[in-house]
Amino acid sequence: MFEFTFHIPTSIIVGRSCLVKNSLRLREFGKKCLIITGQTSSKLNGSLEDSILALENENIKYVIFDKIEETPTLSTVEKAYRENKEKGIDFILAVGGGSAIDAAKAISILFKHDISKEELLSRKNLKGIPIVAVPTTAGTGSEANPYSILAMPEEGVNKNIGQQVFPVLAFLDARYTLNMTYELTVCTAVDAFSHLAEGYLNTRANLFTDTLAEKGLRLFGECIEPLKNMDCNIDMREKLLLASTIGGMVISHTGTSLPHGMGYPLTYEKNIPHGVANGILYPGYLKVFKKCDKLKRMLSLINVSSVEELSSILQKILPMKPLTLTQEEIRRYVNGLLSNEKKLKNHPEKVSRDDLIKIYKTILTP
Ligand code: NAP
Ligand code: FE
């Protein structure tokens, strides 16, 4: 007997110019909007211009906070709130990659509860003011999941704040992703793939998440040849954006597993972009599976015949820099993962310390 719950509270509107065409939808969230975005990219890819046009069409006043950095810090989140808390903000428009959308989730909670950053992390089940998300990368799926990953320099880690804030509405317009560099396109695409794969090969997977993950994996599979050929046309970008949002929906139910857990220290300590950190761990991670039925199906969905073939594709497309890990670093990272019960539980088989060491040792080298 099947037994599961499935719920995605985010309305999703897809299509070219969908934000401006559907600006009316913004009215229900209030009369004053805080736009949360990064420093540069949204000014160049049309997403900020369209956001302003959509708000002006509906006579919604707005202020802009454009200082979100890559993997935003708690201090930046707090600054965005402090600078704007007296301005009568009703809702947030998060315009950018996962960093802007993740930051917006934490900021929305501060607006709702007026609490300190410590309380943001320690209190449970906090809600936020409404967030409308306009993703401009195709990777994190943050527009359709409740996670908010922030950098915590005091603790020396990037981590999920542990609250559950979904955007209420997301506009998916792949035109905004057109001017991503090839490198950013690949890093974010591999992040999307890893959400789909880790959600599919997951203890908490269910019929609905698998149905979504299978479609998302197929879409990603259709992008492999264009990615290998560096042919990043709008059709491929639309597929990647859909795959990314689907990945977000999947992991909102399943969570991620070993590669995400093992990749975070590589990003934080070795400055390896999130998607690359996941990608270089994949060959080792997939080799650790003892029972292979679902793994084989996952590979066939992306049209790849073996783990070795996937490994050579990742090696070809990922921007690789020399990486060395000392025995001591591997030991520390493995201990970190062994204390991360959630990630271990999501992996459908028992893994040993040796398995994890083996995965770190198989990291692709350039
Ligand atoms: P990002 O950190 O949001 O952006 C990376 C860089 O890409 C920034 O320099 C940004 O510039 C630029 N950029 C964004 N859109 C662009 C475009 N259309 N064209 C050109 N450049 C563009 O990248 P991301 O990979 O989307 O997000 C990564 C963050 O999300 C990390 O903090 C990661 O931990 C987190 N994450 C969250 C989830 C989740 O489930 N919520 C899942 C995975 C990862 P500007 O700063 O100028 O905008
Ligand atoms: Fe991710």
For residue 364, the model assigns a pLDDT of: 56
Number of residues in the chain:
366
What was the pLDDT predicted at 153?
Answer: 79
Ligand nearest to the CA of 102: 1
Write out the E strands in the chain: 11-14, 32-38, 61-68, 91-96, 131-135, 149-152, 157-160, 169-172
Q: What are phi and psi of 156, to 5 degrees?
A: 70, 30
State in Å: Cα 273 to ligand 2 middle: 10
Half-sphere exposure at residue 133, Cβ-oriented, CA atoms within 13 angstroms: 35
On whether the CB atoms of residues 335 and 295 are closer than 8 A, the answer is no
Residue with tokens 């209420």: 168
**Centroid of ligand 1 to alpha carbon of 181 (angstroms):** 12
Q: Is the alpha carbon torsion for 334, 337, 341, 346 positive or negative? A: negative
Smallest-distance ligand from the CA of 267? 1
Ligand 2 centroid from CA 226, angstroms:
22
Spans in the chain with pLDDT lower than 70: 1, 364-366
By the 8 A CB rule, do 149 and 100 touch? Answer: no
- Over residues 67-116, the pLDDT tens digits come to 999 999 999 999 999 999 999 999 999 999 999 999 999 999 999 999 99
H helix count then E strand count, the chain = 16, 8
CA-CA distance, 41 to 97, in Å (whole number)?
Answer: 9
Q: 342, exposed or middle or buried, with CB in 10 Å at 0-12, 13-18, 19+?
A: exposed
Q: Which residues line ligand 1 (CB under 6 A)?
A: 38-42, 45, 70-71, 96-100, 102, 136-137, 139-142, 145, 147, 149, 158, 176-177, 179-180, 184, 188, 191, 274
Tens-place pLDDT, residues 118-154: 999 999 999 999 999 999 999 999 999 999 999 987 7
Whole-number Å distance, alpha carbon 70 to ligand 1 midpoint, is: 6
User: Bridge-partner residues for 232, per DSSP?
Assistant: none
Judge contact between 105 and 149, C-beta under 8 A: no
Residue closest via CA to ligand 1's atom 19 equals: 180
Distance from the alpha carbon of residue 308 to the mean position of ligand 2, in angstroms: 22
pTM for this entry: 0.97
Q: Which ligand is nearest to the CA of 48?
A: 1
Q: Is 328 exposed, middle or buried (CB count within 10 Å of its CB: 0-12, 13-18, 19+)?
A: exposed
Nearest-atom number in ligand 1 for the CA of 188 is: 25
* Residue 276: predicted pLDDT: 96
- Report which protein residue has its CA nearest ligand 1's atom 10: 41
The C-alpha R_g of the chain, in whole angstroms, comes to 20
Distance of CA 112 to the CA centre of its chain: 24
β-bridge pairing 157-160 and 149-152: antiparallel
CA-proximal residue: ligand 1, atom 17 (nearest): 180
CA dist., res. 218 & res. 215, Å (int): 5
Q: Is 20 exposed, middle or buried (0-12, 13-18, 19+ CB in 10 A)?
A: middle
Q: Do residues 175 and 20 touch, judged by C-beta distance below 8 A?
A: no
Largest Cα separation within the chain, whole Å, is 60
Query: 161 CA distance to ligand 2 centroid (A)?
Result: 15
